[in-house]
Structure 1
Amino acid sequence: MSSLADWLRARSDEQLVALLRARPDLATPPPADTSVLATRVGVRSSVARACEDLDSFTLATLEALVLLDADDAPVPLDAVTELLGRDVTVERARRSVAQLRDLALTWGEDSELAVAPAAREALPTFPAGLGRAADHLTGAAAKAALAELDKEERRLVDKLAGGAPIGRTKDAAKQVPLEQATNPVQRLLAKGLLLRRDAETVELPRQLALAVRGDRPMGAVEPDEPVPDLTGTDQSTVDKTAGGEALELLRHVEGLLNTWGEEPPDVLRSGGVGVRDLRRTAKAIDVDENRLGLLVELATAANLLASSDGAAPQWVPTIESDTWLAAPPEQRWATLAQAWLDLPRLPGLIGARDEKDRLLNPLSEDLRRPLAPKDRRRILDYLDELPGGYGARPDDVAAVLGWRAPRRGGRLRDDLVRWTLAEATTLGIVALHAMTTAGRVLLADGSAEAARQLALALPEPLDHVLVQADLTVVAPGRLEPELAIEMKLVADVESAGSATVYRISDGSIRRALDTGYTADDLHALFRTRSRTPVPQSLTYLIDDVARRHGLLRAGTAAAFLRCDDPLLLAEILAKPETEELELRRIAPTVLVSPLPLADVVAELRAAGFAPVAEGPDGNVLDLRESGRRVRGKSRPAQPAAIAAPSEEQLGELVAHLRAGDRAGAARRGSTVRPERGRPSAEATLQLLRDAAQQRRSVWLGFVDTHGVRSQRVVRPVSVGGGILQGFDPSSEELGNFPLHRIMSVALVED
């Protein structure tokens, strides 16, 4: 049988490109020839990485090859099919082997299939739950011994044959004769039907497990993907439901920003937000703590929240949050949806405990998972495969994805599916278990086009409200932006949902008057915007509050001057040099200024006065500037994502491999070899010129711009200016080779 390197050389260029595309780690750095590629194909870490994308049945096929010791000697496809069980046809096994062959995890014809030794290391210790084979036991002897077991012995053997083949027991400490055995473990050990691994561990021989399993040697093997029970709904219904969820999400995020803008929580020493702050915020915006954790993660990922600087940092809204609040709903949703899709964290872990039994809080570093965006897209991509309006429940999705990639996700694999679908539903990317139109566009085209699709699903904004006699105002749907702003100003939200109920009170009317509204403005607002008659009680309330509003005036001042001598203050006011201070007398002995205290003191001293600054307690204040301080701690730079090689780059890499193979196979004649690291420049030039004149090919040891050493066969055309120009004999493509990168040269023998 041919070696892996020979088999790879026999593959077509298209097949090698497909291999490098499926296993990109093989191409970095570019291999010099096929022998180097074959070595990388068999590296344990690369094999394990390739197994991550294998489906359940293909992985079982690889396990069958390892169980048949295909890493030692080739095995036929028929033997693999037989080991996979009676439910598997030869054609189905052949398709699975073809997938493994495309990934170079197996090679050879169907009559001689081989795998790399690293495959055994990359698979579980007990493939298909089968232990080691016992040297003293044959298949026929195992079946005969199985028929003679008593009830207790058979129960123990069945248990070990159905799961892991090892068990822990104190009865393995010593071997006792069969006639002295007092329990099933001792009897099976004495009969040689259990293998003793150590003083507390026994192992079921593979032959006995195969005898128990019968015509399903590898247990329950699923040749085909599970078929879930799909849910069917009209796509427009899905989109409208998602639109309502999106509006609810935006309302809660807005409430979060307003709440933390007024009373920001402290940043915990370990990062994140404290439990007390979460409970206070959840009560303020009327959401449960699990939803609040997701809101906090979303707002921070979208750069709407950030930690402040200083000795006591807090979580506060950012400048970008003001722009976000002013944007249309669909654009605000798109910002949050894209942030969630790219979020390298797992909000679903919030509330769980780590290995040290510490609570995992929102925004803590323990939630960081770099592979979360990839897993999130993989889950949504499955729903995206389904027809419009059709969806699947989380457990069914978990079953399908578990079959497609059983080695992905680890112990949280099924939880990741449930968390992702729940979060996607909260965001309006998924509704009624199905992908929304906006969600599909988000996956394919990004947030800009997705925002336009969501806008089509949102209900038309209303230009009216319903004022009730009990001083409540009902908004039966989404309000126009201008009307929504006015209602939040003149009333407080009492309950929210598909219809929002506002409550008008003395405080809310006063709040509107404080912003510049007059009583006439408020009367006009309710008269023109309400579809119901304005109750007399509301008219009286507005007039009563407006009549008392503004009788007492309050202002601001950044600095004041006080002096027991009114004449001195009058002199200061009369001085032209103090006009820029904008001083104003509010009492015979008090002047105020809107400028900072330090500026006022400096200007007065420049004008010839001798003021003294005082603090809030009346004591003298030192206004000298202190030295600037900065924190020495810096945030580590995020590593840039490595772009996957393009088809053109992969084609060039395969061409490079072929050139390396030809160079390795070429017979060499006259040679210029390096004496101390590199060949003589004079000898190299002479050999290359002779080759160009005689139209002979040369073998080059060449180092490219990435520092990768390779071998090339070239037919020189010209040598000059530090460049060798030559043709590749197979492709007849002209290339340039800098002379300073040539490490060795030899003529190719005819």
Structure 2
Amino acid sequence: MTTTLALAARLRALPDAELIAALHGRGYRRQGVSDFFDLAEALLDPDSLQRALAALDRVRLASLIVLSRPGGPRDAAQLARELAAEPATAEASEADADAALQAVAAALLAHPAEGGYTVYDAVTARLEAWDESGLPSPAELLATPAPPALAPVPDTERRFTDRLAAERAFEAVAAVSELLAELSREGARELQKGGLALPATKRLAATLAIDPATVPTVLSVAARAGLVAVADGMWLPTESAWAWQHSPTSDRWRALAAAWKAALPDDLRALLAGRSRAAWGESLRQHVAWLYPAAVETAEERVDAHTRDAEWLGITARQAPSGAGTALVEHDAEAAAEIVAGQFPAEVERVYLQHDLSVVSPGPLAPEVESRLRGMADLESRALASTFRFSGASLDRAITAGETAESIRSFLTEVSLTGIPQPLDYLIADATERHGRVRVRDAEGEGDGTGEGAGGVRSVVHSTDATLLRTIQVDQSLASLRLTRVADDALASRFPRDVVFWALSDARYPVVAEDAEGEPVALRRLRTARPSAPTGRDQDAELVARLRETDGGAGDDAGEHDAEQWLARQLDAAVRARQPVIVEVQMPDGRLVDYVLEPTGVGGGRLRGRDRAADIERTLPLSSVKGLRSVD
């Protein structure tokens, strides 16, 4: 019998790190747990056991059933032989048996004993009660074989699958790139309860030209790859997003695919690797339903989430793995990216500049060219042949970021297949001439009495165009700046220069920032988020620390009082459970003798119990009892 007494002793003897790790994987009640016996009882509670058992696959469940059979503890070799005799686990190897033993032992469902492992009585009782809850009985768990796997996808279908998957992979990279560009421009608000705010979802869907229902998929793929994160309630690009955006398309896909694979749970990763050349789809869901008989819906939802992302990323197409998808699950993302690189269209570095101020790319642009072009033109449509358009506002944005008429013309001359059309050349000249008609600088150092402390003014907006200055002052979109006239050519604000500058820039005024000497300054507005580790309390670690403090420690370092308390708690549990135990007794001559007793009571400084071997009642002084352990 392996009961609460055995588990309590095991919990007490486990190193803290190992015990905390085991508790992390278990759901149990923490209320009322004041010692290791209470913890053992909480872990063997039917509700706690049900949650732990429901998360196990059929091989681990079958292992617990076999370990509960008469015949004593079993090691991996013995367990493998018995599993192989059952239809559900006929293909289980010794390695599978050993992995199952380690897993159920780490989950505190099986108990290490001399010669192997046994199962706690409460675990066996919980499994035997499954049929009453509509779950498979132990016999049914062992007797139901796995559904047959489908045949590999034929080569004729594989070629079609590869083409469709490559298209989706390319589109996925483009969508994530567009997401990063849009979040760099304006973050997306995350709700406190989780999920994007509806306005942000609609905005991103329109920008990415996708269905709003797909926005969470794009965001989750990017977040998994470490390209976006939440900072102060806003989704923003991370510091690594810039390097990713400037990488070749195949490398960008490799990063997304590698993150997808890394996020797979171990069991699902192995399952997909075993079906790397066969369709996933419904047959995979059927297999998962068989594999997790106590949590079918949860298991299917988990698989659906990962396979949905795989379909969007082009790892699969119509639920069949592509050549790159096969290489990914069988090997790694490097091998998959090599295949994808040959299927993606070649990148181009030259574009067509047209008289209507539009730009046509004859293919996917090289990242460096695209990044520079996006800084001075607005994207109109994105596909294999993307289109951009120049405008006064887009050129003003580029000049604000540090471009000049000369640098813009030089870049366009280098990448254009048609030269620079005259309308565009005029627009560049006009934009650079207009730029700087509005200037903003810090109030400190102003000679007009508007420095900090004079009414709390922190920045001043200058312009020689009185009409434009009046327009800015009455512009309702700038009302929050609280701009007030302080001179014929100046408006003052209580906000810092950078805040005022970006507000004017977003309102599309030709603004330039200046330093204290009146020299132009190129400002950068690049908000990034840093992925942060969870900072919540580790309640399991706190519980273990409290139990150690209360217990006083295990082993020779424990004080005499702590040892007496531990022995009394063991005896009390054994008496209540009528559980046979091995009592270690010190004889008058100093010898230690073991008695196998079924305790019946403790009182008056004595332990009473029935000695089954001698078939007599024994009464032992508690002062002579030096130890107690369960009979396994």
The Cα of 1:554 is off from its aligned counterpart by 2.7
The one of 315, 324, 327 aligned to 2:234 = 315
Q: Which residue of 2 aligns with 1:637?
A: 536
Q: Which residue of 1 aligns with 2:274?
A: 385
C-alpha spacing 1:400/1:476, structure 2 compared with 1 (3 Å): farther
Q: Which residue of 2 aligns with 1:278?
A: 201
1:188-227 counterparts in 2 under 5 A? 222-227=144-149
Matched, 1:400 2:322: no
CA distance in 2, matches of 1:271, 1:616: 37
Percent identity, please.
Answer: 18
CA distance in 2, matches of 1:540, 1:27: 68
CA distance in 2, matches of 1:26, 1:523: 61
CA contact under 8 A between 1:47 and 1:118: conserved in structure 2? Answer: yes
Matched, 1:304 2:228: yes
CA contact under 8 A between 1:334 and 1:451: conserved in structure 2? Answer: yes
CA distance in 2, matches of 1:243, 1:288: 17
Once the two structures are superposed, residues 163-211 of structure 1 have per-residue CA deviations (whole angstroms, 9 ceiling, x without a partner) of xxxxxxxxxxxxxxxxxxxxxxxxxxxxxxxxxxxxxxxxxxxxxxxxx
CA distance in 2, matches of 1:477, 1:258: 24
The Cα of 1:237 is off from its aligned counterpart by 6.4
Q: Which residue of 1 aligns with 2:340?
A: 457
The Cα of 1:323 is off from its aligned counterpart by 4.7
Q: What secondary structure sits across from 1:273 in the alignment? A: coil
Matched, 1:583 2:450: no
Q: Which residue of 1 aligns with 2:303?
A: 417
Q: Which residues of structure 1 form unaligned runs of 5+? A: 9-19, 29-35, 75-88, 108-113, 131-216, 309-313, 343-372, 561-580, 585-590, 602-613, 624-634, 643-659, 672-690, 700-742
CA contact under 8 A between 1:461 and 1:477: conserved in structure 2? Answer: yes
The one of 546, 549, 562 aligned to 2:428 = 546
Matched, 1:52 2:54: yes
Once the two structures are superposed, residues 411-434 of structure 1 have per-residue CA deviations (whole angstroms, 9 ceiling, x without a partner) of 344343233211133245545632
1:112-511 counterparts in 2 under 5 A? 116-126=124-134, 222-232=144-154, 233=158, 240=166, 243-261=169-187, 264-265=188-189, 268=191, 270=193, 272-298=195-221, 302=226, 304-308=228-232, 315=234, 317=236, 320=239, 323=242, 328=247, 378-387=267-276, 390-408=277-295, 410-430=296-316, 433-434=320-321, 450=333, 454=337, 457-458=340-341, 459=344, 461-467=347-353, 471-509=357-395, 511=397
Once the two structures are superposed, residues 480-527 of structure 1 have per-residue CA deviations (whole angstroms, 9 ceiling, x without a partner) of 332112221343222212332223445545544555555555454344
CA distance in 2, matches of 1:272, 1:40: 35
Equivalent residue letter for 1:247: V
Equivalent residue letter for 1:320: E
Q: How many residues align?
A: 434
CA distance in 2, matches of 1:747, 1:547: 96
CA distance in 2, matches of 1:698, 1:502: 90
The Cα of 1:42 is off from its aligned counterpart by 7.8
C-alpha spacing 1:428/1:540, structure 2 compared with 1 (3 Å): same
Equivalent residue letter for 2:247: P
CA contact under 8 A between 1:519 and 1:542: conserved in structure 2? Answer: no
CA distance in 2, matches of 1:439, 1:219: 31
CA contact under 8 A between 1:60 and 1:221: conserved in structure 2? Answer: no
CA distance in 2, matches of 1:53, 1:496: 44
1:609-620 counterparts in 2 under 5 A? 616=483
Equivalent residue letter for 2:279: A
CA contact under 8 A between 1:324 and 1:332: conserved in structure 2? Answer: no
The Cα of 1:398 is off from its aligned counterpart by 0.5
The Cα of 1:227 is off from its aligned counterpart by 1.5
CA contact under 8 A between 1:398 and 1:414: conserved in structure 2? Answer: yes
C-alpha spacing 1:533/1:271, structure 2 compared with 1 (3 Å): closer
RMSD: 6.1
The Cα of 1:399 is off from its aligned counterpart by 1.0
User: Which piece of structure 1 moves more, 329-338 or 377-386?
Assistant: 329-338
Q: Which residues of structure 2 form unaligned runs of 5+? A: 7-17, 27-37, 72-83, 114-120, 459-480, 487-491, 495-533, 542-569, 571-580, 595-621, 628-632
The Cα of 1:557 is off from its aligned counterpart by 3.6
CA contact under 8 A between 2:169 and 2:315: conserved in structure 1? Answer: no
CA contact under 8 A between 1:477 and 1:499: conserved in structure 2? Answer: yes
Once the two structures are superposed, residues 93-116 of structure 1 have per-residue CA deviations (whole angstroms, 9 ceiling, x without a partner) of 895999799679999xxxxxx993
CA distance in 1, matches of 2:52, 2:351: 60
Equivalent residue letter for 2:371: I
CA distance in 2, matches of 1:94, 1:292: 41
Q: What secondary structure sits across from 1:117 in the alignment? A: helix
Q: What secondary structure sits across from 1:295 in the alignment? A: helix
C-alpha spacing 1:622/1:43, structure 2 compared with 1 (3 Å): closer
Task: Give the structure-1-normalised TM-score.
Answer: 0.44
Equivalent residue letter for 2:272: L
Q: What secondary structure sits across from 1:225 in the alignment? A: coil
Matched, 1:670 2:569: no
C-alpha spacing 1:636/1:546, structure 2 compared with 1 (3 Å): closer
CA distance in 1, matches of 2:293, 2:285: 10
Which structure carries more relative contact order (alpha carbon 8 Å, separation 6+)? Answer: 2
C-alpha spacing 1:52/1:440, structure 2 compared with 1 (3 Å): farther
CA distance in 1, matches of 2:164, 2:54: 34
Larger radius of gyration: 1
C-alpha spacing 1:428/1:512, structure 2 compared with 1 (3 Å): same
Once the two structures are superposed, residues 220-267 of structure 1 have per-residue CA deviations (whole angstroms, 9 ceiling, x without a partner) of 974233222443537986985564244224223224413534xx54x5
CA contact under 8 A between 1:489 and 1:511: conserved in structure 2? Answer: yes
CA distance in 2, matches of 1:507, 1:600: 29
CA distance in 2, matches of 1:26, 1:305: 25
The Cα of 1:541 is off from its aligned counterpart by 1.0
CA contact under 8 A between 1:384 and 1:435: conserved in structure 2? Answer: no
C-alpha spacing 1:61/1:91, structure 2 compared with 1 (3 Å): same
The Cα of 1:378 is off from its aligned counterpart by 3.6
C-alpha spacing 1:698/1:745, structure 2 compared with 1 (3 Å): farther
C-alpha spacing 1:427/1:218, structure 2 compared with 1 (3 Å): closer
